[in-house]
Amino acid sequence: MRLYKTMRLPIGILLAVMLLLAAAPAPAKDPLPSWRGPVRSLLIDFITEATTAGGEKFIPQQRRIASFDLDGTLMSERPRSWGELTALHWLQENCGQFAAQGPEQAGLCQAAARGDLEYLHQHIGLWLGLPYKGMTLQAFAAYALKVFETYPNPAKKLPQSRLVYKPQLELIDLLHRKGFTVYVCSGTATTLLQVISRKYLRVSPGRCIGSRYKLTVTEQDGRLVFRRGLEMPGLVNLGKVKAYNLKLATAHGPVLAFGNTMGDAWMLRYAAGAKPGGLALLLNHDDPREFVYAKPEALALAKERGWQIVSMKRDWAVVFE
């Protein structure tokens, strides 16, 4: 009995402490754990101010639009972009019949066989379009996804699916939670964006804006079948075309835009000019954990315009998952 009486107070205190701990709010989860330094704070401050009703920099939800480039902004683009890698593999695997179709086809096959990227880049419209002419969009998407998920990057020896930037996925997740609508706006073909967007980029396929190719459509067994044609002149989604397409898709345009080259410059201009205040970010590839290369013209423009330059080396604690 005496033991029971002497222990009543400690047990009561213990229960009270346990109740207090249970009632206490859980520690706030870091919204951007792979980011560090001033840029991390800038992003959090921008998103907080944009979503704080009554604040000077509040942005109504229907105007909270963010746009990201794909290659070199959301995932690695070196030594070849995913679209280039897909076309190169297709040529290497299918040139037996393809080369016999004409001199242009034969030229592409010969260049692919000898690894002549200079020739292929000089004929990039044909390289990224002619191999798929007449292919159904379903077959094209399935082949590109197989390359994305299984074919190794020549330098990293990992598939492209393992070379998506983890900090960017965290930023996209945070933007979604805060009521932003996120678009991927890229020079890559729209079909390629859509086949990976939901699973690997956390963006709806309906929010993908890419370069457009001619399509033919037929009806087969009561269903429409779409087949690839060649690139449509004037609809390569780079430069000013990115701004045009964002205007058509969103009406208001982005208040946050993230790119890495001069091909993204007009998208960044669009976001930087947003009211009450937009945010334009340019990714600088200065980190050997990925690849080190510079885009001097884009960096100079960002400095001139006061856009935020994001250093992979300085601002990202990790690069890939």
Q: What count of other Cβ atoms lies within 10 Å of the Cβ of residue 142?
A: 11
Q: Would you state the pLDDT for residue 260?
A: 98
**What is the secondary structure of 79-142 as a DSSP string?**
SS-HHHHHHHHHHHHHHHHHGGG-HHHHHHHHHHHHT-HHHHHHTHHHHHHGGGTT-BHHHHHH
Q: State the pLDDT confidence band at 285, using cuts at 50, 70 and 90.
A: very high
Q: State the pLDDT confidence band at 293, using cuts at 50, 70 and 90.
A: very high
CATH number at residue 229: 3.40.50.1000
Q: Calculate the alpha carbon distances from 291 to 151, 271, 274 in Å.
A: 19, 27, 32
210 and 311 fall within a common domain: yes
Q: Last residue of a domain, which of 97, 125, 150?
A: 150
- Residue 261, in any domain of the structure: yes
Q: Would you state the pLDDT for residue 38?
A: 97
pLDDT digits (tens, 9 = 90+) for 5-16: 444 546 655 555
Which residues span the domain enclosing 129? 82-150
Strand pairing partners for 208?
184
170 and 71 fall within a common domain: yes
- Residue 3, in any domain of the structure: no
187 and 260 fall within a common domain: yes
143 and 190 fall within a common domain: no
CB-based contacts of 132, cutoff 8 Å, min separation 6: 90, 140, 228
Percent of the chain with pLDDT over 90: 88
Is residue 260 within 8 Å of 43, Cβ to Cβ?
no
- Residue 22, in any domain of the structure: no
- Residue 27, in any domain of the structure: no
Q: What's the number of domains the chain is made of?
A: 2
Q: Last residue of a domain, which of 102, 125, 150?
A: 150
CB-based contacts of 66, cutoff 8 Å, min separation 6: 172, 175, 180, 181, 182, 183, 254, 255, 256, 257, 258
> What number is the average pLDDT over the span 28-38?
93
pLDDT digits (tens, 9 = 90+) for 75-102: 999 999 999 999 999 999 999 999 999 9
- Residue 195, in any domain of the structure: yes
97 and 63 fall within a common domain: no
- Beta strands 279-284 and 308-311: pairing type? parallel
283/270 Cα distance (integer angstroms)? 17
69 and 133 fall within a common domain: no
132 and 68 fall within a common domain: no
117 and 185 fall within a common domain: no
128 and 255 fall within a common domain: no
105 and 48 fall within a common domain: no
Mean pLDDT taken over the chain = 93
